[in-house]
């Protein structure tokens, strides 16, 4: 599971020829014009976000940027290319902004923020305030509940970023070793869950269902598979059913995992593909455990709803990959 990754490095170029510098970067360094929010979404640990401003400015303020560009390359390479190019004469000054780090959390948001503030003497600020106040040896820490191996939208970031007066590499190294402990402290009752998932399929296409399940669990980064293998489920007295079992260690509540499993049991048209049974402490988690609404309920309609919710958590490419796997079931 991935809890932490570096984000784009911020670089401020001061010049009196903003348009000419922008055009050069777009043409020769494949820079892409972006808004700040778009740059945060599309950037990665190998990206550099460049702010082109007027000359003789000292502070790293977003609002001073006439143009914002995103380059798919580390700041050191970008700076080297600029220095070695003829365009370097246009640059009056280069200022490095703070490093950025993205951290996935679970549980109590307020508790985790307080823990980090205390550990690193950080400050909770708005995104703009953190960039304005942060300097080259500082770190801006963004928090989210979503998996961070995929694209993170601005709306996925929690309000209130943390500005830490320490270099990015130092904060990253520290959080990498403390991240799981911080998440555990923020969880309800400070506990993770060990769950058992049984796969049943009368058509015996266990391998496809196993691949689908592992694919979704890995893409959503919901936990770690601790053990797997064949088992017999004694559903009725003197009658056993063969099933393939996966043991999952996760910070997701059993009810949340059950919603994901129902989304995999059916396709978008409501066709049943497989049976996934979920157990926690030898208790089977049923539909009633995740929705206790009384009255008549449509089982297929609910399944389609969970299917839609599952797909919304995946990228378009991941959705297509999942559907391609499912085509093998229908053949």
Per-residue confidence band for 308, with pLDDT thresholds at 50, 70 and 90 = very high
Structure-token match 């778009």, residue found? 38
The per-residue pLDDT of the chain, averaged, comes to 90
> 164: which DSSP letter?
E
- Pairing of β 99-104 and β 139-144: parallel
Q: For residue range 153-196, what is the model confidence (pLDDT) as tens digits?
A: 888 999 999 999 999 999 999 999 888 888 888 887 788 999 99
User: pLDDT tens across 214-246, in order?
Assistant: 999 999 999 899 999 998 876 555 567 788 999
The answer to whether the Cα torsion of 116, 119, 124, 129 is positive or negative is negative
Higher local confidence (pLDDT), 151 or 104 = 104
Q: Which two tokens stand for residue 285?
A: 């988690």
Give me the percent of the chain exceeding a pLDDT of 70. 96
pLDDT score for 189: 79
Lookup result for tokens 């970031």: 157
User: CA–CA separation, 271 vs 330, rounded Å?
Assistant: 10
pTM of the full predicted structure? 0.84
User: Once rounded to an integer, what is the mean pLDDT over residues 316-328?
Assistant: 93
Residue 285, SS3? strand
In this prediction, residue 237 carries a pLDDT of 54
Report H helices in 84-151: 109-120, 127-133
pLDDT bracket for residue 110 (50, 70, 90)? very high
pLDDT tens, position by position, 49-96: 999 999 888 777 888 899 999 999 999 899 898 889 888 889 999 999
From 11-20, 228-237, 282-291, the region with the lowest mean pLDDT: 228-237
The pLDDT confidence band at residue 294, using thresholds 50, 70 and 90, is low
Which pLDDT band, with edges at 50, 70 and 90, does 13 fall under? very high
pLDDT at residue number 289: 85
Residue-wise pLDDT for 155-166, tens only, equals 899 999 999 999
């Amino acid at each position: 599971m991935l809890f932490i990754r570096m984000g784009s490095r911020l670089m401020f170029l001061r010049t009196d020829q903003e348009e000419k510098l922008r055009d050069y970067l777009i043409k020769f360094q494949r820079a892409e014009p972006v808004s700040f929010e778009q740059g945060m979404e599309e950037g990665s640990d190998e990206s550099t976000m460049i702010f082109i401003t007027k000359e003789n400015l000292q502070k790293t303020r977003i609002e001073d940027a006439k143009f914002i560009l995103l380059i798919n390359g580390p700041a050191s390479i970008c700076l080297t290319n600029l220095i070695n190019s003829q365009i370097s004469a246009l640059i009056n000054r280069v200022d490095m902004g703070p490093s950025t780090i993205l951290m996935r959390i679970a549980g109590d948001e307020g508790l985790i923020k307080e823990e980090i503030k205390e550990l690193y003497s950080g400050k909770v600020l708005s995104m703009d305030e953190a960039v304005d106040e942060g300097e080259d040896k500082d770190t801006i820490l963004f928090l989210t509940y979503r998996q961070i191996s995929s694209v993170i939208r601005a709306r996925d970031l929690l309000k209130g970023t943390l500005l830490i007066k320490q270099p990015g590499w130092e904060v990253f190294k520290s959080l990498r070793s403390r991240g799981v402990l911080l998440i555990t402290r923020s969880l309800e009752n400070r506990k993770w869950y060990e769950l058992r998932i049984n796969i049943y399929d009368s058509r015996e296409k266990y391998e496809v269902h196993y691949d689908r399940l592992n694919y979704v669990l890995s893409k959503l980064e919901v936990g770690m598979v601790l053990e797997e293998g064949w088992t017999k489920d004694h559903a009725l007295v003197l009658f056993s059913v063969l099933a393939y079992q996966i043991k999952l260690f996760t910070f997701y509540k059993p009810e949340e995992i059950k919603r994901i499993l129902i989304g995999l049991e059916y396709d978008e048209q409501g066709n049943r593909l497989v049976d996934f049974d979920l157990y926690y402490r030898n208790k089977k988690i049923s539909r009633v455990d995740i929705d206790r609404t009384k009255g008549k309920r449509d089982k297929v309609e609910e399944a389609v709803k969970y299917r839609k919710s599952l797909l919304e958590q995946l990228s378009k490419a991941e959705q297509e990959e999942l559907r391609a796997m499912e085509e093998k079931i229908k053949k």
